[in-house]
Amino acid sequence: MADVNRGNRPLSPHLQVYRLPLAAITSIMTRITGHALVAGIVLIVWWLVAAVASPGAFACADWVMRSWIGFIVLTGSMWALWYHLLSGLRHIFFYDAGHGLEIAQAERSSQILIAGSVALAVLTLIIFFAF
Protein backbone atom coordinates (compact mmCIF):
# COMPACT_ATOMS: atom_id res chain seq x y z
CA MET A 1 0.00 0.00 0.00
CA ALA A 2 2.98 2.31 0.56
CA ASP A 3 3.51 3.12 -3.12
CA VAL A 4 -0.12 4.04 -3.78
CA ASN A 5 -0.53 7.68 -4.70
CA ARG A 6 -2.97 9.08 -2.15
CA GLY A 7 -2.43 12.71 -2.93
CA ASN A 8 -4.58 13.69 -5.87
CA ARG A 9 -7.35 11.14 -6.07
CA PRO A 10 -10.94 12.37 -5.91
CA LEU A 11 -12.32 11.95 -2.40
CA SER A 12 -15.88 10.83 -1.72
CA PRO A 13 -17.78 13.55 0.15
CA HIS A 14 -18.18 12.95 3.87
CA LEU A 15 -21.72 12.34 5.13
CA GLN A 16 -21.63 15.47 7.31
CA VAL A 17 -20.82 17.88 4.48
CA TYR A 18 -22.77 16.08 1.74
CA ARG A 19 -26.25 17.30 0.87
CA LEU A 20 -28.27 14.08 0.81
CA PRO A 21 -30.30 13.51 -2.35
CA LEU A 22 -34.06 13.07 -1.91
CA ALA A 23 -33.85 9.29 -2.37
CA ALA A 24 -31.34 9.09 0.51
CA ILE A 25 -33.54 11.26 2.74
CA THR A 26 -36.64 9.12 2.10
CA SER A 27 -34.51 6.01 2.72
CA ILE A 28 -33.24 7.11 6.14
CA MET A 29 -36.73 8.42 6.98
CA THR A 30 -38.00 4.83 6.63
CA ARG A 31 -35.69 3.74 9.44
CA ILE A 32 -36.51 6.82 11.54
CA THR A 33 -40.30 6.43 11.18
CA GLY A 34 -40.06 2.70 11.93
CA HIS A 35 -38.24 3.30 15.20
CA ALA A 36 -40.28 6.37 16.16
CA LEU A 37 -43.43 4.23 15.98
CA VAL A 38 -42.35 2.78 19.34
CA ALA A 39 -43.84 5.93 20.94
CA GLY A 40 -47.31 5.32 19.49
CA ILE A 41 -47.24 1.58 20.28
CA VAL A 42 -46.13 2.17 23.88
CA LEU A 43 -48.91 4.75 24.37
CA ILE A 44 -51.63 2.47 22.96
CA VAL A 45 -50.45 -0.67 24.82
CA TRP A 46 -50.12 1.32 28.07
CA TRP A 47 -53.70 2.55 27.53
CA LEU A 48 -54.96 -1.03 26.92
CA VAL A 49 -53.18 -2.47 29.98
CA ALA A 50 -54.37 0.46 32.12
CA ALA A 51 -57.95 -0.26 31.04
CA VAL A 52 -57.83 -3.76 32.56
CA ALA A 53 -55.68 -2.70 35.54
CA SER A 54 -57.86 -0.21 37.42
CA PRO A 55 -60.14 2.84 36.90
CA GLY A 56 -57.38 5.12 38.25
CA ALA A 57 -54.73 3.73 35.89
CA PHE A 58 -57.12 4.08 32.96
CA ALA A 59 -58.01 7.66 33.89
CA CYS A 60 -54.31 8.54 33.83
CA ALA A 61 -53.55 6.79 30.50
CA ASP A 62 -56.77 8.07 28.93
CA TRP A 63 -55.94 11.63 29.99
CA VAL A 64 -52.55 11.40 28.22
CA MET A 65 -54.18 9.71 25.21
CA ARG A 66 -56.71 12.55 24.82
CA SER A 67 -54.34 15.41 25.72
CA TRP A 68 -52.42 17.43 23.13
CA ILE A 69 -49.38 15.21 23.82
CA GLY A 70 -51.44 12.16 22.93
CA PHE A 71 -52.82 13.91 19.85
CA ILE A 72 -49.31 14.74 18.62
CA VAL A 73 -47.98 11.23 19.33
CA LEU A 74 -50.97 9.47 17.75
CA THR A 75 -51.20 11.75 14.72
CA GLY A 76 -47.43 11.57 14.23
CA SER A 77 -47.55 7.78 14.55
CA MET A 78 -50.42 7.64 12.07
CA TRP A 79 -48.38 9.57 9.47
CA ALA A 80 -45.24 7.54 10.29
CA LEU A 81 -47.24 4.34 9.83
CA TRP A 82 -48.46 5.43 6.38
CA TYR A 83 -44.97 6.60 5.41
CA HIS A 84 -43.32 3.36 6.60
CA LEU A 85 -46.03 1.30 4.85
CA LEU A 86 -45.61 3.07 1.50
CA SER A 87 -41.84 2.89 1.79
CA GLY A 88 -42.07 -0.84 2.58
CA LEU A 89 -44.22 -1.36 -0.50
CA ARG A 90 -41.61 0.51 -2.58
CA HIS A 91 -39.00 -1.90 -1.21
CA ILE A 92 -41.00 -5.02 -2.00
CA PHE A 93 -42.30 -4.04 -5.44
CA PHE A 94 -39.42 -1.88 -6.72
CA TYR A 95 -36.05 -1.83 -4.93
CA ASP A 96 -35.96 -5.50 -3.83
CA ALA A 97 -37.28 -6.58 -7.24
CA GLY A 98 -34.55 -4.56 -8.96
CA HIS A 99 -36.82 -1.87 -10.42
CA GLY A 100 -36.77 1.91 -10.05
CA LEU A 101 -33.11 2.05 -9.11
CA GLU A 102 -32.12 4.74 -11.63
CA ILE A 103 -31.50 8.13 -10.00
CA ALA A 104 -34.41 9.84 -11.77
CA GLN A 105 -36.80 6.98 -10.91
CA ALA A 106 -35.74 6.93 -7.25
CA GLU A 107 -36.19 10.69 -7.13
CA ARG A 108 -39.70 10.35 -8.57
CA SER A 109 -40.74 7.52 -6.22
CA SER A 110 -39.39 9.56 -3.29
CA GLN A 111 -41.63 12.48 -4.25
CA ILE A 112 -44.62 10.12 -4.56
CA LEU A 113 -43.72 8.58 -1.18
CA ILE A 114 -43.71 11.95 0.61
CA ALA A 115 -46.83 13.27 -1.13
CA GLY A 116 -48.68 9.95 -0.72
CA SER A 117 -47.95 9.64 3.00
CA VAL A 118 -49.04 13.24 3.68
CA ALA A 119 -52.20 12.78 1.56
CA LEU A 120 -53.13 9.55 3.38
CA ALA A 121 -52.45 11.18 6.78
CA VAL A 122 -54.67 14.18 5.96
CA LEU A 123 -57.38 11.85 4.61
CA THR A 124 -57.19 9.73 7.78
CA LEU A 125 -57.55 12.85 9.97
CA ILE A 126 -60.54 14.06 7.91
CA ILE A 127 -62.24 10.65 8.18
CA PHE A 128 -61.46 10.50 11.93
CA PHE A 129 -62.98 13.91 12.70
CA ALA A 130 -65.91 13.53 10.25
CA PHE A 131 -67.18 10.22 11.69
Partner 1 sequence: MRYITPRKAAEGLGSAHSGTQHHWAMTVTGVALAILTPLFMIVIARAIGLPRELVLAYFGRPFQALITGFFIIVGMLHFIKGTRIMIDDYFQGGVRKAAVIISVIFGWAVIALTVYALARMGLGAIVVL
CB of 104 to partner 1, least distance (A): 26
Annotated binding site for heme: 84
CB of 67 to partner 1, least distance (A): 12
Q: What is the DSSP string of 58-120?
A: HHHHHHHHHSHHHHHHHHHHHHHHHHHHHHHHHIIIIITTT-S-SHHHHHHHHHHHHHHHHHH
Structural contact between residues 65 and 47, judged by C-beta atoms closer than 8 angstroms: yes
Kind and range of the H or E element at 29?
A: helix 22-53
> Nearer Cβ to partner 1, position 17 or 129?
129
- Name the residues that contact partner 1, by CB under 8 A: 31, 34-35, 37-38, 41-42, 44-45, 48-49, 51-52, 55, 58-59, 62, 65-66, 74, 78, 81-82, 85, 88-89, 91-92, 96, 124, 127-128
Give the nearest distance from C-beta 9 to partner 1 in angstroms: 27
Residue whose CB is less far from partner 1, 24 or 78: 78
> Cα dist. 44→33, 47, 66, 69 in Å?
17, 5, 11, 13
Report the residue number, 20 or 51, with the smaller CB distance to partner 1. 51
Shortest Å, Cβ 109 to partner 1: 16
Please name which of 106, 74, 70 lies closest in space to residue 90, comparing C-alpha atoms: 106
